[in-house]
């Protein structure tokens, strides 16, 4: 088998007339015009580019092989050079060339094994960073869940406090004015008792009730009973209030 470069050289040596036949000796391409050797080479290359693969042969002449009548001339010297076209995906790299290339890279200071090790180290470090980010993400999610729980708990407490406030002020309305009177300020030196003003009764009532809720598990029942006593039997309630005041 001849290489394509050898066929090019023959064309440039004067064998610019040719025909290409396949393995069955069937004509595939013809060049019988009087053109330059370079144009003849270009036409030959064009055929090779358009054919995927196969075994061929090129029959070559230095003069046109056909008469003016279109018949093939007899006894005209010719060459027949077999050649092969290999598809691109079938071409194999020369192991020797690969070895030479690797040796050349080593000589230039390039170590492929070292590069692979460096790449593996970078990948391992990247995996560590990804794992750290995942862990941080889990921590942030847990903190968010805890914050939501705390907010929900605070909201429930506020809701309970609001309910208690409404309920307490309702009871205080029943107990007033006696209960509110017990929360008025003491006379200040040099000022008569008539000049005293009530403090923020609502805040003081809530503070006192919160303390009772903390100390007395039955506070709700006790305060409601006290309110009923003030409503149904004011005299007895007055006595209870005086008794409480006598303890403080």
| Mean pLDDT, all residues of the chain | 79
Task: Say yes or no to pLDDT of 185 above 50.
Answer: no
Q: How far is CA 59 from CA 50, 62, 175, 224, in A?
A: 19, 11, 128, 123
Q: How far apart are CA 37 and CA 60, in angstroms?
A: 12
Q: Given this model, what pLDDT does residue 164 score?
A: 61
Q: What percent of the chain has pLDDT over 70?
A: 73
Q: Given this model, what pLDDT does residue 191 score?
A: 41
pLDDT tens-digit series, residues 199-242: 577 788 888 888 888 888 888 888 888 889 889 999 998 988 88
The count of other CB atoms within 10 Å of the CB of residue 41 is 19
pLDDT tens-digit series, residues 134-159: 988 888 889 888 889 888 877 777 67
Of the given ranges (101-110, 161-170, 178-187), which has the lowest mean pLDDT?
178-187
Q: Given this model, what pLDDT does residue 109 score?
A: 61
Q: Given this model, what pLDDT does residue 105 score?
A: 58
Residue holding tokens 């040719």?
Answer: 18
The total number of residues written for the chain in this structure: 248
Q: Given this model, what pLDDT does residue 209 score?
A: 83
Q: Given this model, what pLDDT does residue 97 score?
A: 54
Task: Say yes or no to pLDDT of 45 above 90.
Answer: yes
pLDDT tens-digit series, residues 47-63: 999 988 899 999 999 99
Q: Given this model, what pLDDT does residue 75 score?
A: 84
Q: Where is pLDDT greater, at 31 or 111?
A: 31
Q: Please, which contacts does 84-93 make with residues 24 or more away whose CB atoms are closer than 8 Å? A: 84/1, 84/53, 84/54, 84/55, 84/56, 85/48, 85/51, 85/52, 85/53, 85/54, 85/56, 86/53, 87/52, 87/53, 90/53
Band of pLDDT at residue 188, cut at 50, 70 and 90: very low
Task: Say yes or no to pLDDT of 186 above 80.
Answer: no
């Amino acid at each position: 088998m001849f290489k394509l470069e050898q066929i090019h050289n023959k064309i440039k040596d004067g064998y610019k007339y040719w025909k290409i036949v396949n393995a069955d000796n069937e004509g595939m391409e013809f060049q019988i015009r009087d053109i330059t050797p370079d144009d003849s080479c270009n036409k030959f290359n064009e055929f090779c580019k358009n054919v995927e693969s196969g075994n061929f042969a090129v029959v070559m002449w230095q003069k046109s092989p056909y008469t003016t009548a279109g018949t093939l001339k007899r006894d005209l010297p010719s060459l027949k050079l077999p050649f092969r076209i290999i598809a691109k995906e079938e071409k194999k790299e020369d192991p020797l060339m690969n070895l030479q290339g690797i040796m050349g890279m080593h000589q230039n200071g390039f170590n492929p094994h070292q590069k692979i090790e460096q790449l593996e180290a970078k990948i391992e470090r990247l995996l560590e960073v990804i794992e750290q980010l995942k862990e941080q993400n889990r921590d942030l999610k847990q903190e968010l869940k805890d914050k939501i729980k705390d907010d929900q708990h605070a909201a429930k407490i506020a809701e309970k406090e609001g309910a208690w406030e409404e309920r307490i002020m309702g009871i205080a309305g029943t107990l007033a004015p006696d209960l509110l009177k017990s929360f008025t300020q003491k006379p200040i030196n040099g000022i008569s008792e008539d000049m005293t003003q009530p403090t923020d009764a609502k805040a003081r009532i809530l503070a006192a009730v919160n303390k009772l809720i903390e100390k007395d598990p039955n506070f709700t029942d006790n305060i409601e009973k006290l309110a009923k006593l003030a409503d149904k039997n004011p005299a007895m309630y007055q006595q209870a209030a005086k008794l409480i005041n006598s303890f403080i």
